[in-house]
Structure 1
Amino acid sequence: MNLVTFLPFIVLIGAMFLMTRSAKKKQQAAAQMRDQMTPGTGVRTIGGMYATVKEIGDDTVTLEVAPGVHAIYAKNAIGAVLEDDEYNRIVHGATDDLTIDTPVVPDDASSLIESAEDKTEDKTEAKAEDKDADAAPKLDLGKKDEPKGDAEGGAK
């Protein structure tokens, strides 16, 4: 038989072998990365959520997604194990530079709530405006009051 006939099949088999080998390497690297997890390690899931590892099981991992909020994930759902510096920079916005030009936003809404003094001042201003509105003359809308006796067919 002719060698030219078998050449495309040989190339195809070689390409499949290389693709399978690279996929296995990626799987091994991912498994090795997941083995580096320890409680307290920061991770990113394949869905893009950042969390802290609390417990590690055989096939699952318990993550703290918010303070006091724990969720159980499959180990395969861990996309990356992060260094402490990188995790703190992403999650907490912590930087080595202490001069931050961005405004500080308070954690509570106390600065958004009016104080009792502000409320009493607003009430006294509103009462004064109401008194001014009562003192204004009434508008004449063109409707005249007719005497009751002058209506058509009415008694005099």
Structure 2
Amino acid sequence: MNIMTLLPFIVLIGAMFLMTRSAKNKQRQAAQMRDQMQPGTGVRTIGGMYATVKEVNEDSVLLEVAPGVHAIYAKNSIGAVLEDAEYNRIVHGIEPAEDEETPVVPDDASSLTGADEDTTPAGKKLDLGKEAKGAKGAEAEPAAAEDAERDGKQDGSTDAK
């Protein structure tokens, strides 16, 4: 037999060996992570539920999914064991300390510019039509007369000028 005919089979066997080896490494790391679980640790299940470990048994884990609500899960259903800071951030909404330099995103863009809702970025007041209804200027009087005249015609009354 020629070595050139055996080369594709050797490459195929080598690739299969490398793939199974990496899969075994991932399984070993996952098992090691699950063995490090202790009561009080925050975890995420493979279904995406966050909970606190209350008790660890040989093949199962007792989780507190809400205050006073406990559920038994298989150890294999634990997707990740979380650090305390990450668990508190996700579940309780507690942000990390200020010294960790985590950027804070404001709720709206007006807090970025420091402007009110009625002003432009240059600081000029915007006219949103709020003053036009109660204004008693030269323009408001003819508009009020036209409105009164229109209202009178709608009531069926005649114009007596």
TM > 0.5 fold call:
yes
Matched, 1:12 2:12: yes
User: In the superposition, relative to structure 1, how do residues 2 and 100 fare at CA in structure 2: closer, same or farther (>3 Å)?
Assistant: closer
Per the alignment, residue 90 of structure 1 pairs with 90
Matches within 5 A, 1:2-151: 2-96=2-96
Q: SS at 1:95's partner residue? A: coil
RMSD (CA atoms): 1.9
Q: SS at 1:13's partner residue? A: helix
How many corresponding residue pairs?
Answer: 102
Shift of 1:60: 0.3
User: In the superposition, relative to structure 1, how do residues 97 and 29 fare at CA in structure 2: closer, same or farther (>3 Å)?
Assistant: closer
Gaps of 5+ in 2: 99-103, 108-161
Distance in 2 between residues matched to 1:7 and 1:96, nearest whole Å: 56
Distance in 1 between residues matched to 2:28 and 2:97, nearest whole Å: 37
1:70-114: per-residue Cα shift (whole Å, max 9, x none)? Answer: 111110000100011100000011014689966xxxxxxxxxxxx
Shift of 1:36: 1.1
The one-letter code matched in structure 2 to 1:95 is E
The ranges of structure 1 where at least 4 consecutive aligned residues each deviate by more than 4 angstroms after the TM superposition are: 97-102
Shift of 1:3: 1.0
Larger RCO (CA under 8 A, 6+ residues apart): 1
User: In the superposition, relative to structure 1, how do residues 101 and 24 fare at CA in structure 2: closer, same or farther (>3 Å)?
Assistant: same
What TM-score do you get using the length of structure 1 for normalisation?
0.62
- Return the index of the structure with the highest Cα Rg: 1
Q: Is this contact kept in 1: 2:51–2:63, CA < 8 A?
A: yes
What TM-score do you get using the length of structure 2 for normalisation?
0.60
Gaps of 5+ in 1: 103-156
The one-letter code matched in structure 2 to 1:39 is P
1:97-143: per-residue Cα shift (whole Å, max 9, x none)? Answer: 689966xxxxxxxxxxxxxxxxxxxxxxxxxxxxxxxxxxxxxxxxx
Shift of 1:48: 0.6
